A and B are shown apart, each in its own frame.
Chain A
Amino acid sequence: MGILGRVSGYFGVVEAQGRGTLHLHMLMWLAGTPNADEVETALRSVTFRDKIRRYIQLNIRAHLDDLTEHDIKKMPRDSQLAYQRPPDPRLHGWNERQHELERQLVRSQQLHTCTPATCLRIQKGRYTCKRGAPWALNNDDYVDERGNWGSRRTNGYINGYCPLVLTNLRCNNDIKINTNGADTKDVAFYVTAYATKKQKKSHNMSALMASAFPYHIANPRYEDIRERNRLLLYRCLNTINREAELSGPQVVSYIMGYGDTYTSHHYAPLYTNVLFASLKRMFPTLADVDGARFVVYQ
């Protein structure tokens, strides 16, 4: 049992920022949550919605009573708050110290500022924040029967955060819940694609293979056709991988074996080729799976 409840699984993917610093996107599965079929009924019950609201109250905050617009203007941004230890819970006055640290951290780490260099993109002729700021204001933490939810927010530029992650790690974070409503599949698909999106600009793989090709033709090594193809394959791999831009910390993570994921479970590949082949034989109308497999995904 931890600050977010009983977690039955997690899958985190590490990414590098433009500056090279690492950050983590993590999906978590809580134990004992209703599945997609049960959730519709559950959300109709006031008790269940209250439970979610209490969860939001504890874990997803976007407002502090003693951090008003006036306070924010008065407080300077302190980017060095991380250079300290979290308040010691064994000492007297922990609550006060913890709260004051949270206040300062929200001011310095969770207040979003839109700039053209970072998040502003032109959409329909006007600048729009790609992260959606200013976010919706809410008088209170809420969840409705359809599973829409929100945290109390009085300043549209305060990014929702997990309070105990904020104060213990003294760093920017962002947390959202998925109420398993009708749009679960969309959310799951979106975050899956987002968490595992290609690093930096996605390269045109055919272009890279084309650039490896003249060298391959000019430097033949083997008579055997399979060996020659293997060498082509190897040269393509090298051409593709050398174009990937990785930061120093990413490279060292791979060298050290830290890798780029944090997972609660182990995974084994399922070889579906034989299955798909027999399905194709049984149902010839499925036959163009092969073509679809090479659709270019963004």
Chain B
Amino acid sequence: MESDLVQEGSDVVPIHALGVTDTDLSKVSSSELMNHALANLCDISQEGGYAVRHGMRLINDFGENAIQTGALNPLAAAFPVLFPYGVGGIESERDTKVSLRDHARWAMQYYDRRFATHHSFPFIVFALMQKREAMRSARLQMRRKDFEREALAISSITLKDLKQAEVEEGRKKAISNPRVRALRKHVVAANGKVVGSDNARTQYRGMIWGTCLFLGGPTIWITINPADIHDPIAQVFAGESIDMDKFNKLLGPDSHLRAQNIASNPYAAAHFFDFIIHVMLETLIFKVPA
């Protein structure tokens, strides 16, 4: 739990990159974006600075139609350090269509680990995935009967209504305005279909209750904090060559490098977690050899 993890690795406290992405770009100025792009460019290379003038036109974040509209591929243009010469971008024109999801998964597993260890690329790609799902989900929500029925109510919402609801919600009170309630209902329903959203997570409650109806009350409640920094398997996933058959703890990366390997490579950390939980379920929980 929290306290136990804080104690772990007393002298090294690795911090994973945390990101907040502005998916609809309404709060980030174009000069800020330019700065980020330049920072990306200078990230690893020792080449020194470039004087690059940015265009005035925003690039659409759909890579697919870029060529028709004469625009650049958004991810290739934003990450020249990952896509040299701006080619091979996600959703760029190619003979066989590769989806955003499949291409992102390929990138995370790429042999030189440049996509996985990039400080912002995984966050941007994930934000893009969330945005696509939000778009699909909003479209599905629109086709519902109650969305049509409440159309007039929702379109007549004012900023004042929302501010009032904000105060009520802040006081943990029910929201009095029926128009805001209608909008919230649709927002919660639509966001439930968006990967990684809080609304998607709250749906798990219903699944757990469903399981209780099916199997009765749960018998065991267990919490597991896999030790990603120090587990040799996680280090192998991060690219260290460790002979697991003849394991010697005096060889291989030291504690400092181990922490760095995991903190800089969220793919290795996530892969290890998924692997170790599956292995635990398979070998300890379901099949223990006699």
Chain A residues within CB distance 8 Å of chain B: 1-4, 7-14, 17-30, 33, 35-36, 77, 79-85, 109-110, 112-115, 117-119, 131, 159, 162, 164-165, 168-178, 180, 184-185, 187-188, 191-193, 195-196, 198-199, 202-207, 209-210, 212-215, 217, 225-258, 260-263, 265, 267, 291-296, 298
Contacts and interface: CB of A to CB of B under 8 A. Distances in A.
Contacts of A117: 6
Contact of B20 (A36, A113, A242): A242
B155 A206 contact: no
A94 to B, nearest CB: 13
Contact of B155 (A184, A228, A244): A228
Contacts of B32: none
Given A83-B231, A255-B125, A296-B169, A187 B217 contact: yes
B269 to A, nearest CB: 4
18 contacts: A11-B211, A14-B273, A19-B15, A20-B269, A26-B221, A27-B208, A29-B215, A30-B219, A84-B249, A171-B226, A196-B208, A226-B151, A233-B183, A237-B134, A237-B190, A242-B21, A255-B105, A296-B172
Contacts of B19: 246, 248, 251
Interface stretch (B35-43, B51-59, B197-205): B197-205
A171 B212 CA distance: 29
A205 B220 contact: no
Interface string B85-118: 0000000000000000100110010000000100
Contacts of B180: 206, 209
Give the one of B137, B152, B266 with max A CB within 10 A.
B266
Contact of A263 (B9, B207, B219, B258): B207
A236 B224 contact: no
Contact of B223 (A19, A25, A85, A114): A25
Contacts of B3: 112-115, 118-119, 131
Give the one of A26, A85, A227, A257 with max B CB within 10 A.
A26
Nearest to B248: A84
A64 B238 CA distance: 36
Nearest to A171: B227
A192 B126 contact: no
B181 A191 contact: no
A21 B258 CA distance: 14
Contact of B219 (A28, A209, A262): A28
A231 B181 CA distance: 17
A170 B184 contact: no
A202 B221 CA distance: 24
A198 B220 contact: no
A22 B229 CA distance: 11
A7 B228 CA distance: 26
Interface residues of B, number: 128
Nearest to A251: B126
Contacts of B186: 233
Interface in B219-254: 219-232, 244, 247, 249
Give the one of A1, A77, A82 with max B CB within 10 A.
A82
B260 interface: no
A196 B202 contact: yes
Given A81-B230, A170-B231, A244-B197, A195 B249 contact: no
Given A33-B219, A85-B244, A202-B198, A13 B288 contact: no
A298 B226 CA distance: 28
B109 to A, nearest CB: 8
Nearest to B104: A255
Given A79-B230, A118-B2, A214-B159, A239 B217 contact: no
Nearest to B21: A242
Contact of B166 (A4, A29, A204): A204
Interface in B1-42: 1-10, 13-24, 26
A1 B290 CA distance: 10
B211 A254 contact: no
B222 A232 contact: no
Contact of B18 (A169, A227, A247): A247
Contacts of A36: 216-217
A192 B209 contact: yes
B216 A35 contact: yes
Give the one of A159, A234, A263 with max B CB within 10 A.
A234
B187 interface: yes
Interface string B115-144: 010000011011101110011011101100
B222 A21 contact: no
Contact of B204 (A9, A195, A257): A195
Given A177-B220, A256-B271, A225 B227 contact: no
